[in-house]
């Protein structure tokens, strides 16, 4: 190995070590911080009615992989500071720490194997996660019971009261760690600036702020009224209505955030005021139920959006498909008719694309199509739009009183842009584009006619030598049909 390779490897190792250190510090600090939150909801020694650190740590193990298990153990030990005397660490303190470490550490590793996509949180991920949260809470509760001093104490009234609180406390904590984890992933992948912009653009809108205030006000009212009568306490279920509504209206992300905030405020009011006719276990169960309902409803909302996007957008390039293109085109042609304007259609066929597939493989071909789609989109104004017609063919509509000369300039620019070399892992290739142009209303007054004539003009361009453009009226009059 030469000196240059050694320096590169050393730099890579140092970068990896720095990243590992940053992740480790974040792991320990976030676990400690969430532990402090859990202490605020502690009802007896070792029992917190809201315990999010373990669920969040499990998700970090899933994201960072098993090599962070030692960091997790350190986080558990240090997470009790300053409430626990970790400087006089004992076997009695070790038992619950090991319980937490093995159950949630193992669950994090298992989740990584079941959902290896990591950054992509699919529907499968969420369904699996809800199941794992329930299983880990049950296991943790079982070990908690078995580690009691005697069977007699396990069956005592005190244990019968505490164990359900322990189980639901772990479950609600793990469920509410999910929105925190999603926020962390978004921040990690998009950075501080984009996160702030998203917050201002998507979260701090009047309708969302009103919904937030309604949820907080309702949380306060249902807990406050609960002190007067058992009948009033029944109104606590009303908190579910605005929480679930947010998931229906705005999808999984916003719904989870509101479910988390709304229930956390309700739980906080309950603990702080110390009065209500409804029991703590009931509050916790509604907490868990609202989070799970929000996830399930939000997933339906997301899947509906995904299905709709797939029906109108090309999956590979992200461009409009012909269904969306024809709808937009008809609308813009009607607008052009009202304003007495012209519209131009460009039919683009990629020259030499088959060579890329044959030489470098279909993966390289897909990469080339993705890049071509971006290049075409970036070549247009906001008023114009492009769609993938199929295979290596694209269609563009130029709107806003475009002239034939303008269309020729755009076509020439596209050919020049696409003709630059495409680089792949195993080589590079140069392609070109043959473009046919038709103009509304000279060449047709509906989208299908304009596409047909632009298609014929494109094949005339191919016949004349490829990597060029032709207007429909410039093609030879005897030409008809397509050359295969």
pLDDT average, residue stretch 125-132? 90
Given the DSSP bridges, would you call strands 393-398 and 343-351 parallel, antiparallel or unpaired?
A: antiparallel
Q: Residues 46-63: pLDDT tens digits?
A: 778 889 999 999 999 999
Residue ranges covered by each domain of the chain: 3-312, 322-474
Q: Residues 216-266: pLDDT tens digits?
A: 898 888 778 777 776 766 777 788 888 889 988 888 888 888 888 888 888
Give dist(CA 20, CA 154) in Å, integer. 42
Burial 191-221 (b: 16+ CB within 10 A, else e): eeeeeeeeeeeeeeeeebeebbebbbebbeb
459, HSE (Cβ side, Cα atoms, 13 Å): 14
- Could you tell me the pLDDT band of residue 119, with boundaries at 50, 70 and 90? low
The pTM of this model reads: 0.67
Between 469 and 475, the higher pLDDT residue: 469
Task: For residue 446, give the DSSP letter.
Answer: S
Give dist(CA 230, CA 68) in Å, integer. 48
Superfamily of domain 322-474: Reverse transcriptase/Diguanylate cyclase domain (3.30.70.270)
CB 58 within 8 A of CB 181: no
CB 235 within 8 A of CB 18: no
pLDDT of residue 336 exceeding 80, the answer is yes
Which residues, 6 or more positions from 313, have their beta carbon under 8 angstroms from its beta carbon?
319, 320, 321, 324
């Amino acid at each position: 190995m030469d000196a240059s390779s050694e320096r590169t490897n050393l730099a890579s190792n140092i970068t990896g070590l720095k990243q590992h250190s940053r992740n480790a510090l974040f792991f320990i600090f976030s676990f400690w911080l969430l532990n402090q939150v859990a202490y605020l909801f502690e009802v007896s020694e070792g029992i917190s009615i809201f315990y999010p650190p373990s669920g969040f740590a499990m998700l970090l193990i899933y994201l960072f992989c098993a090599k962070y298990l030692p960091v997790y153990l350190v986080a558990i030990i240090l997470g009790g500071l300053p409430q626990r005397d970790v400087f006089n660490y004992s076997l009695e303190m070790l038992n619950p720490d090991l319980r937490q470490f093995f159950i949630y550490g193992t669950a994090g590793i298992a989740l990584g194997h079941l959902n290896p996509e990591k950054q992509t949180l699919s529907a499968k991920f969420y369904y699996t996660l809800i199941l794992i949260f329930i299983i880990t809470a049950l296991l943790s509760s079982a070990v908690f019971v078995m580690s009691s001093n005697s069977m007699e104490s396990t069956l005592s009234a005190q244990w019968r009261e505490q164990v359900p609180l322990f189980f639901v406390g772990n479950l609600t904590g793990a469920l509410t760690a999910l929105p925190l984890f999603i926020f962390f992933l978004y921040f990690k992948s998009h950075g501080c600036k984009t996160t702030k912009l998203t917050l201002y653009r998507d979260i701090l809108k009047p309708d969302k702020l009103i919904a937030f205030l309604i949820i907080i006000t309702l949380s306060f009212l249902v807990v406050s009224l609960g002190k007067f009568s058992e009948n009033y306490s029944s109104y606590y279920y009303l908190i579910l209505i605005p929480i679930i509504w947010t998931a229906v209206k705005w999808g999984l992300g916003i719904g989870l955030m509101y479910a988390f905030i709304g229930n956390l405020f309700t739980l906080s009011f309950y603990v702080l005021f110390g009065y209500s006719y409804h029991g703590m276990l009931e509050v916790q169960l509604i907490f868990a139920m609202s989070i799970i309902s929000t996830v399930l409803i939000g997933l339906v909302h997301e899947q509906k959006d995904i299905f709709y996007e797939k029906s109108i957008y090309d999956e590979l390039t992200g461009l409009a498909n012909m269904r969306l293109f024809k709808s937009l085109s008809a609308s813009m042609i009607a607008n052009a008719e009202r304003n007495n304007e012209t519209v131009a259609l460009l039919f683009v066929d990629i020259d030499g694309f088959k060579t890329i597939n044959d030489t470098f493989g279909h993966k390289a071909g897909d990469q080339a199509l993705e890049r071509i789609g971006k290049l075409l989109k970036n070549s247009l104004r906001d008023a114009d739009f492009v769609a993938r017609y199929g295979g290596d063919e694209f269609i563009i509509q130029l709107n806003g009183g475009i002239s034939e000369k303008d269309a020729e300039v755009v076509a020439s620019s596209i050919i020049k842009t696409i003709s630059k070399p495409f680089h792949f892992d195993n080589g590079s290739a140069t392609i070109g584009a043959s473009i046919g142009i038709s103009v509304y209303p000279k060449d047709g007054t509906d989208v299908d006619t304009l596409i047909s004539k632009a298609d014929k003009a494109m094949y005339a361009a191919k016949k004349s030598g490829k990597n060029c453009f032709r207007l429909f009226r410039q093609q030879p009059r005897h030409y008809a049909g397509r050359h295969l």
